[in-house]
Amino acid sequence: MEGFKNKTVVITGAGSGMGRETALQFAKEGANVVALDLNEKPAEETVAMITSAGGFAKAVVCDVSNRQQVIDTIDQIAEEFGTIDVMFNNAGVPMAPTKTDEVTEELTNLLIDVNLKGVFFGIQAVMPYMQRQSSGVIINTASINGARPRAFNSMYSASKAAVITLTKSLALELAEYGVRVVGVNPVAAETTMLQGFIGDADYDSGKEKYASSVPLGRLAKAEDIANTVLFLASDKASMITGSLIDVDGGRGI
Ligand code: ADP
């Protein structure tokens, strides 16, 4: 299957978890993958995994919370690859369960800077290219916590709720150009981010507690999210825009 042959797919947060798994799946489907991450080593590891499986990928270091860096990075990618067909705004940071009066200004800024502004800057950077092409799909990683918040998770839930609204507003703004803007609302996935959500509590019991809040009885796997992202990016989803798919085992019902 080479459903994304010759398509340029940019993935933020591609050095780990859902971003990495999505990068591997897109590459398997023939895409030219740009694996963007704050950290070089994990991004290069993703690229090495793709290359050794016979795919094409390139690692790019970029801090999604830095608007100018994101714009310059996307400009360079567009120049090198000609088009940007899919932009997966996926980089994110977690929040351990915290009483709201104990949430620091530093954490507040990080959550908004990466989870919200990072997605927004990614959209701002790619949209001129997609508008010119009259094609493209932008996919944003929100969270089921953005649609159905948890206690002790206020700013994380709020940062992701904003991504949901951003996705819908941009879908309306870009529809006339034939550009689709969609998203996923994952429940906590078994990635390095899970430790961030569990915080100081025991990992195994924290994980179990999370899983028991999911009607299907388990956490998400990175591939659950990747499968959904590939569907949303494909022509099979050509009538879908402004929608976010809950990949949450029923947690948001
Ligand atoms: P997930 O469950 O969302 O896959 P991970 O923690 O496994 O969570 O992956 C998140 C990825 O996002 C990491 O590779 C991390 O380096 C990346 N990331 C975090 N902050 C930024 C940022 N400011 N710019 C780019 N990438 C970032």
Mean pLDDT, to the nearest integer, of 126-148?
98
Number of domains in the chain: 1
Ligand 1 touching residue 241 (CB < 6 A): no
**How many CA atoms does the CB half-sphere of 36 hold within 13 Å?**
26
Report the separation in Å between the CA atom of 114 and the middle of ligand 1, taken as the mean of its atom positions. Answer: 9
- Any domain includes 213: no
87 in any annotated domain = yes
CA of 62 to the centre of ligand 1 (A): 11
* CATH (domain of 135): 3.40.50.720
Residue 211 counted as domain residue: no
**Residue 76 pLDDT:** 98
pLDDT attached to residue 78 = 98
33 domain-assigned: yes
Query: Does a structural domain hold residue 152?
Result: yes
The one catalytic residue among 156, 177, 203, 210: 156
pLDDT of amino acid 247: 98
Output the average pLDDT for the chain: 97
Residue 56 lies in a domain: yes
Atom of ligand 1 nearest to the CA of 189: 2
- 18 within ligand 1 shell (Cβ under 6 A): yes
129 classed as catalytic: no
Whether 245 maps to a domain, the answer reads no
Q: What percent of the chain stands above pLDDT 70?
A: 100
Cα 113 from Cα 160, distance rounded (Å): 12
Domain membership flag for residue 90: yes
Rounded to an integer, the average pLDDT of 220-244 is: 98
Q: What predicted TM-score, i.e. pTM, was given to this entire model?
A: 0.98
Asked if pLDDT for residue 65 goes beyond 70, the answer is: yes
Cβ distance 242 to 167 under 8 Å? yes
Say what the pLDDT of residue 2 is. 81
Q: How far is the CA of 176 from the centre of ligand 1 (A)?
A: 32
Q: Say yes or no to pLDDT of 1 above 70.
A: no
- Domain extent at residue 114: 8-190+221-240
pLDDT in tens, 161-181: 999 999 999 999 999 999 999
In this predicted structure, what is the pLDDT of residue 56? 98
Our mutation pick for probing the ligand 1 site, out of 10, 11, 16, counting the most ligand atoms within 8 A of Cβ, is 16
pLDDT digits (tens, 9 = 90+) for 117-136: 999 999 999 999 999 999 99
